[in-house]
Amino acid sequence: MDINDLIKKSMGDEDLNSEEIAELFKVPLFSDEAALIQVASYRKSKIASENLAEVHAQIGLNIAPCPKNCLFCAFAASSGVFKEKSELPLSEVIERAKGFEADGANAVFLMSTADYPFTKFLETGLEVRKALRTETKLVANVGDFTLEEAKRIKAAGFCGVYHALRLGEGRDSRLRPEKRLETFSNAREAGLLLGTCLEPVGNEHTIDELVEKTIITREARPVFSGAARRIPIPNTKLSEYGLVSEARMAHILAVVRLALGYNIPGNCTHEPNVIGAAAGANLFWAEVGSNPRDTKKETKEARGMSVGDCRRLLEEAEWKVLSGPSVFYSEDGKKNADSDSSVICESALSHTQ
Ligand code: SF4
């Protein structure tokens, strides 16, 4: 298959099939074709998001040895990283959320471990919602939920959720892939906008699995997808596979961008880096509190970046960062996710000629 033809097809907003996506993933790093893929991805992200990148900010509410034991997560009881439970007091959650708002985050996320009491999560959400400006977007990052729970998340003032069917789901985690997909549709039915991602990418993942999960993110009709690497948790089985380089992640997130249509405006990567942004990532996260990729209790003292750090990295890749509430998590983002994108397609074609 000619890589130029595949790029043209993607830029013309035709869906690439699994064989075509696999061809793009197979392209060697630092080849001429890899450079073309990344340039096209950057351009496609710019068109899809009308030239504006976003910085979202996440507060990890709690730490607990989690019985679900996902092998890539520092909270997994089996990792032995955190032996005690702890959580941020509500007053501190509110203060941090307001701090993110003041720093210019385009959306504020609340994250908890999967076994955190659902009602308590909602109560915290309600209080944070009251403390933030009405227009500030609040997003939930929690475990799987039913339709009823999805409606309660929405009623508590969240406009959307982050959720993923992760690489190795059901193999490296004890969560059923079907359940993850049910959560996608519950969110959708309740009117919650979905952000998702191809994650957590490790060196051992086959191209077939990357392709399969990329297509799942496309079919979920999210407001953003993207690709994020796995951070090795010391002394765990998966840490033996090491860390995927930022250069390789740049290629992977670029292929994801090309596999997805213009109707999906966001393309994230984590952790924030300039090569990724130059390859088409237009969404980074700042983080405080607990972090499933960190062995420190307070991630802002370790892996977590600030809103300013994320903005600076995006700007280094010539992105302009949106000022104000997230467009990805807005009715416009939703409209895009629901549209057939024929209008955007015409505009894109004019950029490829
Ligand atoms: S990823 Fe979520 S469900 Fe899995 S161990 Fe971590 S907190 Fe638990």
CA distance 288 to 303: 9
Ligand 1, residues at Cβ distance < 6 Å? 66, 68-70, 73, 75-76, 113-114, 143, 173, 292
User: What averages of pLDDT result for each successive group of 10 residues across the chain (353 residues)?
Assistant: 96 98 98 98 98 98 93 94 95 98 98 94 98 98 97 98 97 95 97 98 98 98 98 93 98 98 97 98 97 94 96 98 97 62 38 34
Ligand 1 centroid to residue 143 C-alpha, Å: 8
pLDDT digits (tens, 9 = 90+) for 24-53: 999 999 999 999 999 999 999 999 999 999
Q: How much distance in Å is there from the Cα of 318 to the middle of ligand 1?
A: 35
Pick from 61, 66, 169, 233 the residue to mutate for probing ligand 1's pocket: most ligand atoms within 8 Å of its CB.
66
Q: What is the pTM of this model?
A: 0.94
What domains, with CATH codes, occur in the chain? 3-352 (3.20.20.70)
Read off the pLDDT of residues 142-193 as tens digits, 9 standing for 90 and up. Answer: 999 999 999 999 999 999 999 999 999 999 999 999 999 999 999 999 999 9
What end-to-end distance do the CA atoms of the chain give, in Å? 21
- Between the CA of 136 and the centroid of ligand 1 the distance, in Å, is 27
- C-alpha of residue 99 to centroid of ligand 1, in Å: 26
User: By CB neighbour count within 10 A (0-12 exposed, 13-18 middle, 19+ buried), where does 260 fall?
Assistant: buried
Cα–Cα distance measured from residue 187 to residue 183, given in angstroms and rounded to the nearest whole number: 6
Q: Which atom of ligand 1 is nearest to the CA of 69?
A: 5
Ligand 1 atom index nearest CA of 77? 5
